[in-house]
Amino acid sequence: MSELRGLHLHIDCPSGAAGDMLLGALLDLGVPLEVVSLALDAIGAGRSRLQVAKISKRGIAATDVKVDTGGEVAGLGKHAHVGHLAQGPSAHGIPPAGATTHVPANLAYGGHHHDLESTQQLELQELQQLVQRTGAVPARHPNTTPSRTPPAQKPSQPPPVLKRIAEEDEPGWDMLTTKPSKVPAFVRAPTRPPPLAPEPHDTQIDVKAREPHGHGHTHAHGPDKDHAHYHYQDIKARIAGSKLPDGTKRRALDIFERIARAEAKIHTSTLEDVAFHEVGAIDSLVDIVGTAAALDWLQPRAITCAQVAMGHGTVECAHGILPVPAPASLEVLREAGGIMADGGVARELCTPTGAAILASAVTAWTPAPAGRPVAIGWGAGDAELDDRANVLRVVGLATDRATTDTVWQLDANIDDMSPELCSAAADAVFAAGALDVWWTPITMKKGRPALVLSAITSEATRTAVVGAILRETTTIGVRYAQLQRTVLARELVEVKTRYGMIPVKVARDGATIVNAAPEYDACAAAAKQYDVPVKLVFAAALAAFDRG
């Protein structure tokens, strides 16, 4: 197994990419299933959700991954939404004549628990004025009278009100009826109304809707459908507070944030408002954390991908019919500087989860370098394509010679930030995809002690890393310059010591071993377990490596 670690990984995506395909390919490459299972246990999803099988896709043997999306994720708060008022499209709250009548967004009724004192009430007189001013022909339930304006009502009768229609085929909180009915609680002036939902419904996204690769859950729903969702901020806190290894945490958090940033931009929202539909959230959580754990175990020296097939045509999702590539997938790829291809298939080939994993992991969008193939993994998609096997391939390459690549160095001078924030800022920059991050003490103008925050990043993650620096520090600018570097070929070799198996990172130039260094995290864990200094574990690992 150790021969797989520290290799160069190259990803081929002629049939697109999805979370389950990438996870399946990494398991097929040779990542132990226990690595992924432990990660799923650590976040409360549970290893039992993962179903792994070997199947054939047009004659290609591939690993198929399925996720059980039933139940809940332990320790992750689920938010329920009941049917609610639809948000109106008019800038002034009053739709033009002949348009479908909607209620203004500030009347959206939801199931969140918020301070009742901050809620608002709808006065009956305002509701009447809204109906009269629209001049629109209201949508009618089969039992309503086809009248454009409400008939005269007896004083004892309540005025026309919004009435939720019970039938499943009537999507109606925006149904207007002239039939007398009981006034709903949320428009009775004398009583306190139920809480109002603070966020637009459009910020609740489904990153897995109609995926063609194995998790084709469709969660599109009208405004009157009950559903549950997980907030991005809750998912972020759950991962950050888990016992996952630091490397797995960084990768998983970065992937989720890329999806959330894309959705927030598309829907003109904020990261705090983004939420994932229940099934899509569980599915993506398993795929993303599982893939992050697999990559962290592999410790690849670099990851390349020439391009990813996106497909064309249209896709139906919670927001209606949209063009392919799907907006979120395209935005994630754009931000990362990824390379897309059509793929020649009239369907969605690359999902937002697949795009985000690639954007986070790929260090260079180039063809595979010269090297010796050590292992090959195939991940299966769910759909059957007419002209090709619906698979994704990961190749592990041993590049024995030192290679040259291009990176970016980013720098920001900071003289007005509390040192207490430095650690969190560095963590955020790492999570955004930086290859390395460091602080340097300097003296700035007026003799002020200050710091330089520096980071090394690939072209694919430069934009995200710049954004993290600007967001997490007090700097108002970032310098960056392109650099060339020479990198030795690296691999991880596990050695047996009195403190257990310890991985050692070995750097080579051809057949010559230039350096060997035990992995610190493994040494620190072993030292804690055996109650000995870390330096003793280091020495034992180097001695074991020297003995061969």
pLDDT of 361 strictly over 90: yes
| pLDDT tier at 125, thresholds 50, 70, 90 | very low
Q: What is the pLDDT of residue 84?
A: 36
Share of the chain above pLDDT 90, in %: 52
The two three-digit tokens of residue 491, written as one number = 């691999």
Task: Delimit the domains of the chain by residue range.
Answer: 2-75+207-398, 85-196, 403-487, 489-547
Q: How confident is the model at residue 231 (pLDDT cuts 50, 70, 90)?
A: confident
pLDDT value of residue 80: 56
* Pairwise CA distance, residues 209 & 287, whole Å: 15
Residues 465, 455 contacting (CB under 8 angstroms): yes
pLDDT confidence of residue 161: 37
Q: Residue 536: which residues within 8 A CB-CB, separation 6 or more? A: 499, 527
CA 532 to chain centre: 40
37-51, 83-97, 153-167, 313-327: which range is least confident on average? 83-97
Whether the CB-CB separation of 16 and 343 falls below 8 Å is answered with yes
For the stretch 32-86, pLDDT in tens is: 999 999 999 999 999 999 999 999 999 999 999 999 988 777 766 656 554 433 3
Mention every residue, 6+ apart, whose C-beta is less than 8 A from residue 452. Answer: 411, 412, 413, 414, 439, 440, 442
Q: Shortest CA distance to 44 belongs to which of 251, 235, 314?
A: 235
Q: Is the pLDDT of residue 91 over 70?
A: no
Residue 22 has pLDDT above 70, yes or no: yes
Average pLDDT over residues 247-267: 91
pLDDT at 306 over 80: yes
Q: Is residue 151 scored above 60 in pLDDT?
A: no
Angle at 63 between CA 60 and CA 64, to 5 degrees: 110
**What are 292-305's pLDDT values in tens digits?**
999 999 989 889 99
| CB-based contacts of 59-62 (< 8 A; 24+ apart in sequence) | 59/389, 60/378, 60/389, 60/391, 61/378, 62/24, 62/25, 62/28, 62/378, 62/379, 62/380, 62/389, 62/391
Among 171-175, 425-429, 515-519, the least confident range: 171-175
Q: Give the mean model confidence (pLDDT) for residues 236-255.
A: 91
Share of the chain above pLDDT 70, in %: 71
Alpha carbon distances (Å) from 461 to 265, 464, 499: 18, 5, 37
- pLDDT at res. 225: 44
Mean pLDDT to the nearest integer, 454-462? 89
pLDDT tens-place string over residues 334-354: 998 899 999 999 999 999 999
Per the model's pLDDT, the better-predicted residue between 194 and 239 turns out to be 239
How confident is the model at residue 79, as a pLDDT?
Answer: 60
* pLDDT on residue 395: 97
DSSP letters along 93-120, please?
A: S-PPTTSPP-B-GGG-B------GGG--
Q: Which residue has the tokens 């670690």?
A: 5
Q: What is the residue whose two structure tokens read 């999806």? A: 259
What pLDDT is stored for residue 488 in this prediction? 86
CATH superfamily assigned to domain 403-487:
Transcriptional regulatory protein pf0864 domain like (3.30.70.1380)
**pLDDT at residue 442, rounded to an integer:** 97
Instruction: Looking at 135-268, list the stretches that DSSP marks H as alpha helix, in order from N- to C-terminal side.
Output: 232-240, 246-266
Residue whose C-alpha is closest to residue 301's, from 379, 367, 355, 364: 364
184 contact partners, CB below 8 Å, separation of at least 6: 161, 162, 163, 164
Alpha-carbon Rg for the chain in angstroms: 28
Instruction: Give 369's pLDDT tier (boundaries 50, 70, 90).
Output: confident
Q: Is pLDDT larger for residue 272 or for residue 216? A: 272
Among 158-167, 371-380, 523-532, the minimum mean pLDDT is found in 158-167
Q: In the predicted model, is pLDDT for residue 526 greater than 70?
A: yes
Q: Is the pLDDT of residue 538 over 50?
A: yes
Residue pLDDT, tens place only, 462-500: 888 999 999 999 999 999 999 999 888 888 889 999 999
Average the pLDDT over 77-97 and give the result.
Answer: 39
- Tell me the average pLDDT across 226-230: 60
pLDDT at position 280, please?
66
Give the model's confidence band at 214: pLDDT under 50 very low, under 70 low, under 90 confident, else very high: very low
* pLDDT over threshold 70, residue 547: yes
pLDDT at 145 over 70: no
Q: Which of 123-132, 147-156, 193-202, 535-544 is predicted least confidently? A: 193-202
Q: Which residues pair with 497 in a beta bridge?
A: 500
pLDDT at 213 over 50: no
Q: Are 99 and 75 in contact (CB under 8 A)?
A: no
CA–CA dist 463, 336 (Å, integer): 7
Q: Does residue 179 have a pLDDT over 70?
A: no
This prediction's pTM: 0.61
Write the single-letter amino acid at 494.
Answer: E
Q: How far apart are CA 299 and CA 293, in angstroms?
A: 10
Is the peptide bond between 325 and the residue preceding it cis, with omega within 30 degrees of 0?
Answer: yes
The arithmetic mean of pLDDT across residues 156-169, rounded, is 37
Q: What is the DSSP letter of 149?
A: S
Who's near 425: CB < 8 A, 6+ residues apart?
Answer: 417, 453, 469, 472, 473
Q: Which residues pair with 377 in a beta bridge?
A: 394
pLDDT tens, residue by residue, 196-209: 333 333 334 444 43
For residues 276 and 130, the model is more confident at 276
